[in-house]
Amino acid sequence: MNKTIVTAVTLAMLLLASLPGLHAGAATLEPLCLDGTQGWIADGNPALDVADGLTLEAWVRPDMVAKGGNRIIDKANAFVLDTAPGMALRMSVAAGTISCTGKLPTDRLSHVVGVFGHAEGIYKLFIDGKEMASQGRDGMRKLSVTPLPVKVGADSSGRHCFCGAIARVTIYNRALNATEVAALAADNSHQSHGLPGTVADWFCTPTDAGEYHSAAPGQLRLRDRPDPARLTGQSPPPANPTQVLWYRRPARAWIEALPLGNGRLGAMVFGGVAEERIGLNEDTLWSGAPHDYNHPGAFEHLAEVRQLITAQKFVEARNLADATMLGIPAGQASYQPLGDLLLTFANHAAAQDYRRELDLPDAIARVSYRIGTARFAREMLISQPDQVMALRLTCDQPGQLSFGLALASPHPIESSATPDGRLAIRGEVKTGQIDAGQHGTRFAAQVRVRADGGSVSAVGN
């Protein structure tokens, strides 16, 4: 595509009936220490889009585990290996979730492995070479293939961050057998063994570069920033700096992205150069459903609770109130992200004079940078009257603007693309309880691409 492109994103949701460097050899191990605030992201590569067989392997030492778990390896809607509450190990793929009761120690590195084989009917977890859980069966669903990248130490939205140390992460496109797993666990050097099927292998050695390179074929890069482009130069401040939030690098985490919204639709603009990510939200998407929280008979216990409080028996009063007066259920469902609009730009490995900004009076997010003599710019807003998100991309030299576009979500989705420039997804929040637990909140989103002086094509779905 060249010259000018206008992208409009419309989201609609209805409830119920609606729609550091890494090297092979005898390198010095220095575990990657994560503080629970940020993960690392891998460059996209088709080798990581596995469907039939998968092994996720890592050496880890967790310090603590949050309520929702902490990610070790994550490729949203495709595969996840993480620590569950209670220091347990857990793996999730399209065929379901498997977990074990064994706790991971916090005083040393543990060897953790998740194995899935569609054809073999294998689905297992290993800790330190020992099989801890097995739920393999015939007819399991194959692995899902998604456009989201692999992340280490966080999920695709930058949440559920790992807190502790990770010494090595290796991904295979086949199911390792028990003998291979045991040999890897017994190797005190913590190094991989160059086994067939290795598609990514990151071994932690001292580095100040903010990125690791896989020893596996492809030399995949694992980096501490969402956008892989290298930036040089220094953009000048905006004309009205007192009314603009502006920065000279893309956002590294969700909390650094620039927010846009109209009360119903919301977006978080990261401002990447080679890889732009725009987080999408809609105000009715959540993990619950309309229902009555009333607790029958609660009033009958009110007098007794008051008497216990008067007698200063506060523990007994709290326990009785919790058991007889709280809403049903006592826990509350949570607001959910819809997903991400992802844009990938060819030949954007380096840029100069980068700036991203949020114009507060106009409620417009902008990104601008230069590659050689060509200047690129993006503008995004969310309209209240039209209930639409609009993104405009331009370049001052014809034939220079070309990019791929995809929609992704942390929830299960189905996508479709048409030759006229429309991309749509339909999905469902699986953490909800609707129709006796059969369905979660269903949602849909659509992007339409219009090219001025260029062309639009659909690749797959």
Q: Which residues contact 253 (CB under 8 A, 6 or more apart)?
A: 37, 38, 158
Counting as low any pLDDT under 70, the low residues of the chain are 1-29, 66-68, 206-209, 217-218, 431-439, 460-461
Buried b (16+ CB within 10 A) or exposed e, 194-224: ebeebbbbbbbbeeeeebbbbbbebebbbbb
The closest alpha carbon to 79, from 127, 150, 138, 136, belongs to 150
Q: How far apart are the first and last CA of the chain?
A: 19
Characterize the bridge pairing of strands 4-13 and 388-395: antiparallel
Structure tokens at 30: 């220095």
List the 96-99 sheet strands across, edge first. 96-99, 88-93, 79-84, 70-75, 151-152, 40-42, 221-223, 211-213
Does the domain spanning 32-223 belong to CATH 3.20.20.110?
Answer: no
Helix (H, G, I), strand (E, B) or coil at 81: strand
Enter the CATH code of domain 4-16+229-285+335-452.
2.70.98.50
Structure tokens at 80: 């996840």
**324 touches 295 (CB < 8 A):** yes
Sign of CA dihedral 93, 96, 102, 106: positive
Quote the strand ranges of 193-269, DSSP E. Answer: 198-203, 211-213, 221-223, 230-232, 244-247, 258-261, 265-269
Q: Note the pLDDT of residue 432.
A: 54
Q: Note the pLDDT of residue 291.
A: 75
The closest alpha carbon to 104, from 69, 139, 145, 150, belongs to 69
> Chain-centre distance of CA 213, in angstroms?
21
- Domains of the chain, by residue range, sit at 4-16+229-285+335-452, 32-223, 290-332
Q: Note the pLDDT of residue 209.
A: 59
The closest alpha carbon to 321, from 312, 333, 330, belongs to 330
